[in-house]
Chains A and B, each alone.
Chain A
């Protein structure tokens, strides 16, 4: 068993970045995730693993540093919060188009605009539906505990390199700022240049040798036939993700008559709401999507034949609820309940919403 510590989500993420054998972290301070860079700066990653740590002049610069480093087969990561992630969207679109494996962490705060520094889940659309321009998807992981803030870092890199696609860890101010027990994983050594040449030398720009064609990283193709082919290739990747990477957790769904659908911090609140509701005899369960893209459509479609209604609980005005509705194809009522602007619903409120919006509708 690894070491057990009490850490903030942001700190666990930072420690995991060093342990995951990451080559470079590039970021710009923003609340509520500044602890990530602060932790890294204090931990001397350059001495521990040789990892590069750089405070960029902006998020625009940071994401383009990821572009450069990721395109050489190095593991590159950044973390930010909503306004900074908005600034990165151009770069993320280019990275998706050029098929560069990188990891971007969004510790979401309320918006739009400068909004608030308190927790929110209002960047779901941006994370799962694009965000930048063009037909592309990020693979989106949604941790709901400090443990997952740590565990999802190596997972995100595995997926990023498996698909040569940017992966986003979509957290929020609540998971970032809370402390919980975390069991740290054993450090994974950084890849050697030989390893990168062997495993990623067929695409990464690591210096052309006479034995192969040159590698080019680009998102541009002016020949429509070829560009269409590239788009179709991306589509195949997304379809493969939908087949192979859907992850979710179910809680007390076996006998459920109603279902909460919630991810990240709101899934924690929903778990408490289940306890309160079941104490009143209401049989409710939870489906927690762990991958927001690809979304657990199939399982929700199955559950629609079992439960009488679903309530999507989100710290937003109703974003994921659209995917829930698409999944259940109008078979049962699906409603949304959420608080916004940094407000966090109480478990009691969630039970009340289940009653008024679904049970007694």
Chain B
């Protein structure tokens, strides 16, 4: 198993922490993991992204050019990373604010209305967990019990009371994820 993921959106959408929770869940699953963020002034109000890799082998490069999965939360990130999904790979996006939707035919495209569903849960802070649920539904690379352990590890203790809400959001994501386009047959590995 080797899963190479890019997660991208606006700073404040919980992009980096989504990556962190995924990485921590990977550790609980006994996988090798890496997490590399964009950092610096780019992040002040602008876009943020993080590359997360989970693998059962030693991880080589923590920065990549193409990805098995892209999880994107805004137009800029969609434009930037849609072309970088490997043929046969997965693109999962939040349609909130998207005017130009993905067009590729050789990848799986799914939508999750994370912003909307997060707000419906009563917190704008859990949209990233809704997306995580959607992703795990499509690619169950880590067990939910390990996500729980990952949450325990990555959230500071003063936020542990929010774990049930986060898990609820994951459940909503799993339920609400929607297929837009299934990859046409490709010969990729």
Direct contact of A and B (CB under 8 A): yes
Show the binding face of A for B, using Cβ within 8 Å.
4-6, 31-32, 117-118, 173-174, 177-181, 265, 268-269, 271-275, 344, 346-349
The answer to whether B36 touches A178 (Cβ under 8 A) is yes
User: Within the complex, which residue of A4, A118, A179 is in contact with B35, where a contact is CB–CB below 8 Å?
Assistant: A179
The answer to whether A275 touches B35 (Cβ under 8 A) is no
Number of chain B residues close to chain A: CB under 8 A = 23
The answer to whether B40 touches A174 (Cβ under 8 A) is no
The answer to whether A6 touches B40 (Cβ under 8 A) is no
The answer to whether A177 touches B63 (Cβ under 8 A) is no
B33 at the interface (CB under 8 A from A): yes
User: Within the complex, which residue of B20, B36, B65 is in contact with A346, where a contact is CB–CB below 8 Å?
Assistant: B65
Apart from the given pairs A180-B62, A181-B32, A347-B64, 5 other A-B contacts in the complex at a CB distance below 8 Å = A5-B153, A174-B63, A177-B37, A180-B33, A275-B60
The answer to whether B64 touches A31 (Cβ under 8 A) is no
Show the binding face of B for A, using Cβ within 8 Å.
20, 23-24, 27, 32-37, 39-41, 59-66, 153-154
The answer to whether B34 touches A180 (Cβ under 8 A) is yes
Most buried by A among B35, B60, B65, B153: B60
The answer to whether A174 touches B62 (Cβ under 8 A) is yes
Known: A6-B154, A118-B40. A179 touches B60 (CB 8 A): no
The answer to whether A177 touches B39 (Cβ under 8 A) is yes
Q: In whole angstroms, how far apart are the Cα atoms of A271 and B63 in the complex?
A: 12
The answer to whether B27 touches A181 (Cβ under 8 A) is yes
User: Within the complex, which residue of B20, B27, B61 is in contact with A272, where a contact is CB–CB below 8 Å?
Assistant: B61
Q: In whole angstroms, how far apart are the Cα atoms of A5 and B150 in the complex?
A: 11
Which residues of chain B are within 8 angstroms of A272 by Cβ–Cβ distance? 60-61, 64
Which residues of chain A are within 8 angstroms of B36 by Cβ–Cβ distance? 174, 177-179
The answer to whether B61 touches A6 (Cβ under 8 A) is no
The answer to whether A268 touches B60 (Cβ under 8 A) is yes
B109 to chain A, nearest CB (A): 24
Which residues of chain A are within 8 angstroms of B41 by Cβ–Cβ distance? 117
Q: In whole angstroms, how far apart are the Cα atoms of A5 and B36 in the complex?
A: 16
Q: In whole angstroms, how far apart are the Cα atoms of A33 and B41 in the complex?
A: 14
Residue of B nearest to A286 (CB): B60
B20 to chain A, nearest CB (A): 7
Which residues of chain B are within 8 angstroms of A117 by Cβ–Cβ distance? 39-41
The answer to whether B61 touches A269 (Cβ under 8 A) is yes
Which residues of chain A are within 8 angstroms of B23 by Cβ–Cβ distance? 6, 179
List 9 tightest A-B contacts by C-beta distance, closest first. A271-B60, A346-B65, A272-B61, A179-B35, A272-B60, A178-B36, A269-B61, A117-B40, A268-B61
The answer to whether B20 touches A179 (Cβ under 8 A) is yes
Q: In whole angstroms, how far apart are the Cα atoms of A173 and B33 in the complex?
A: 18
Residue of B nearest to A118 (CB): B40
Q: In whole angstroms, how far apart are the Cα atoms of A97 and B103 in the complex?
A: 64
Q: In whole angstroms, how far apart are the Cα atoms of A46 and B34 in the complex?
A: 31
Which residues of chain A are within 8 angstroms of B39 by Cβ–Cβ distance? 31-32, 117, 173, 177
List 22 A-B residue pairs with CB atoms under 8 Å apart, sorted by A's residue number: A6-B20, A6-B23, A6-B33, A6-B153, A6-B154, A32-B39, A117-B41, A178-B37, A178-B62, A180-B32, A180-B62, A181-B27, A181-B32, A181-B33, A268-B60, A268-B61, A268-B62, A272-B60, A272-B61, A347-B61, A347-B65, A348-B65
Known: A6-B24, A31-B40. A178 touches B64 (CB 8 A): no
The answer to whether B63 touches A6 (Cβ under 8 A) is no
The answer to whether A6 touches B35 (Cβ under 8 A) is yes
Q: In whole angstroms, how far apart are the Cα atoms of A178 and B35 in the complex?
A: 5
Residue of B nearest to A349 (CB): B65
The answer to whether B59 touches A180 (Cβ under 8 A) is yes
The answer to whether B35 touches A271 (Cβ under 8 A) is no
B117 to chain A, nearest CB (A): 27
Q: In whole angstroms, how far apart are the Cα atoms of A273 and B60 in the complex?
A: 9
B114 to chain A, nearest CB (A): 23
Which residues of chain B are within 8 angstroms of A118 by Cβ–Cβ distance? 40
Residue of A nearest to B32 (CB): A181
Which residues of chain A are within 8 angstroms of B20 by Cβ–Cβ distance? 6, 179
The answer to whether A346 touches B27 (Cβ under 8 A) is no
Most buried by B among A32, A173, A274, A344: A344
Q: In whole angstroms, how far apart are the Cα atoms of A348 and B153 in the complex?
A: 35
Q: In whole angstroms, how far apart are the Cα atoms of A178 and B63 in the complex?
A: 10
B155 to chain A, nearest CB (A): 12
Which residues of chain B are within 8 angstroms of A349 by Cβ–Cβ distance? 65
Known: A6-B27, A177-B39, A181-B33. A344 touches B63 (CB 8 A): yes
Most buried by B among A174, A178, A265: A178
Q: In whole angstroms, how far apart are the Cα atoms of A345 and B33 in the complex?
A: 21
